[in-house]
Amino acid sequence: MQPIFGVVADDLTGGMETAAMMVALGVDCGFVSKPALVKDLAASPAIVIAQKTRVIPAVDAVRRSEEAARALLAVGTRQLFFKYCATFDSTDEGNIGPVADALLAVTGQTHTGFCPTSADLGRSVYNGHLFVGTQLVSESPKRFDPLTPMTDPDLVCVLQRQSKLKVGLVTHGLVRGDAEALRAHVDALVDQGVRHLIVDAIYKEDLDAIAALTVDWKVMTGNAPITQHYPPIWRRRGWLDCAPPKRALPAVQSPGVVLAGSCADRTLEQLAAFEAARPVHRIDVASADGVEPVIARALEWACRHLESGPVAIATSAPPDQVRAAQDRHGRDGAAKLAEDILGGLAVALHEKGVRRFMVAGGETSGTIVERLGIDRLRIGAYQGPGIARATTEGDDTLALSLKSGKLGPVGMFLPTLESMLHPEN
């Protein structure tokens, strides 16, 4: 079977969420972090390549995303999907615009769409402006993001600053209207030289219309929810003509650890809820005296508590502490220090026998997966925003849940770790 859908994800959490959505819809979906491994998944109808490219230099993000795209195209993938965050996490330098430009060049497609909407989470686009619930993204907590603060809600302007190609808008009235009129409007914009189309969407029905419009485009971009609206179209067209293989996730018996690097409000709430039942070790990045001493102290603390149940170790902090860390180490330096600490801790904990990891934060997840030497995962079914499980292949099986810092129920950490003790069918 020719692969139908190839996802180029800009972080591990978003890639895992997208793959889990495919699995929940009965679509066999392979998941790797290295493009070279795609050839082993050529029989899968959907393939996700998740790499840590969201906040690296744009030239590097383009190179790695192009490599992923070419690997997917080499096995005959019908459509590429560039997955990024619902809050359009990026800066004026990229990386959403430069990567989208590159994917158009690789495929030769003239235009693509941008659909970050997540109706279940209240992330919506109206008149080209991005909302988080009832707030413009620029008035939401996203304006305090330590790496990609979103201070402009107008996605047409945001993307135009990142891209060399002309950006246009498809308004909500067109999305909700006649399908032929929608296609005609898009064709007219493309004739005028528009290459990137910000598409308004608020409701799930809007995503149905957008999926129908774009299913035959060689490149589409957006957040994970729009991808759920493609498989029904594939089935109607006869592209999914067999049941997916049963690939149950095995139970993993070991101590369990939460590693949190996200500074999102939701992660801070989740850590507080976890601490009501189990201990949390908080690392102050601003006062850190080097990576190795911090790891040694955290590891010693964890070993004293793990016999009685799961523990959490976090560099997560509220905005004032983040600013203090950035004042001392620089913006990128503070982020790198936090990642080096948690990545090193993951390796040290693994050596001590930990095989169940709940990880909060996209950049943190990418670092930990890299440091543990994981390059492919077996993904379980999507359970809701931020809730999915995976296991590694091979004899030394690890159970992982990689979640975006902004997602998931407040009380999810303990139940997710508990679920890893049992198989998922």
Q: Is 250 helix (H, G, I), strand (E, B) or coil?
A: coil
pLDDT at 122 > cutoff 70: yes
The CA distance from 300 to 352, in Å, is 11
**Tokens 């911090």 found at:** 294
Q: What is the pLDDT of residue 244?
A: 65
pLDDT of res. 169: 98
Domains of the chain in sequence order: 5-236 (3.40.50.10840), 256-419 (3.40.980.20)
Q: 162 is written with which tokens?
A: 């990142």
- 358: closest CA among 291, 283, 261, 425? 261
Residues 6+ apart with CB under 8 A from 296: none
Cβ-based neighbours of 238, under 8 Å, separated by 6 or more: none
**Backbone φ and ψ of 173, nearest 5°:** -60, -35
Query: DSSP letter string over 259-305?
Result: EE----HHHHHHHHHHHTTS-EEE--GGG---HHHHHHHHHHHHHHH
- Per-residue pLDDT band for 245 (boundaries 50, 70, 90) equals low
Q: What is the pLDDT of residue 248?
A: 82
Mean pLDDT calculated for residue range 185-212: 97
pTM of the model: 0.89
- Given a contact cutoff of 8 angstroms between Cβ atoms, the answer to whether 314 and 282 are in contact is yes
Q: Which pLDDT belongs to residue 139?
A: 94
pLDDT of 90 above 70: yes
Residues contacting 2, CB < 8 A, separation 6+: 76, 77, 78
- Tens digit of pLDDT for each residue in 289-333? 889 999 999 999 999 999 999 999 999 999 889 899 998 899 888
Residue keyed to tokens 């902004």: 406
* Segment holding 97, helix H or strand E: helix 96-107
Angle at 68 between CA 65 and CA 71, to 5 degrees: 150
Is the distance from CB of 82 to CB of 219 less than 8 angstroms? yes
Taking Cα atoms as reference points, which of 344, 331, 329 lies closest to residue 293? Answer: 344
